[in-house]
Amino acid sequence: MDAVTAALAGAGLAVGDGTAPASIPANGVYVVLYFDPGQSFAESLADQRTDFAVSFQATAVGPTAEKCRWATQRIRMALHAPLTVSGRAAWRPEELGGPPMQRDDDVSPPLYYLPVQYRLQSTS
């Protein structure tokens, strides 16, 4: 989870874990990450649980539809390569898609949201 956050921050995106980041950039664009608890898997019949999978959603948020789509492309570029996790080998995050962009008129000014779901696997 830290590797995902670091990859997105390294791409110049402000990132929050389950909520908006503490500091919203001047352009109003940020990403909110939502992780499931993950699941460990046995690597063999010996039941050594060294394989791990986690699903997460990266929700791009922006003041305009264009900026929201821009943030989504930055997310995709940042997560294209395998992530570096100390002591583990990680596969490249698999993009699973997500619902279409939505506009939230309950906040002022309105914001656009575009969630993209991913699955990440690693082994030791």
Note the CATH architecture for domain 2-123: 2-Layer Sandwich (3.30)
Mean pLDDT of 64-88: 93
Average pLDDT value for the chain: 92
CB < 8 Å & 24+ apart, contacts of 90-94: 90/3, 90/120, 90/121, 90/122, 91/120, 91/121, 91/122, 93/4, 93/118, 93/119, 93/120, 94/118, 94/119, 94/120, 94/121
Confidence band (pLDDT; 50, 70, 90) for 28?
Answer: very high
| Residue 47 pLDDT greater than 80, yes or no | no
Cβ contact 118:94 at 8 Å:
yes
Give pLDDT, residue 1. Answer: 87
Mean pLDDT of 50-70: 94
Q: Where are the domains of the chain?
A: 2-123
More confident position, 95 or 49: 95
Q: What is the pLDDT of residues 88-116, one digit of tens each?
A: 888 899 999 999 999 999 999 999 999 99
Give pLDDT, residue 75. Answer: 97
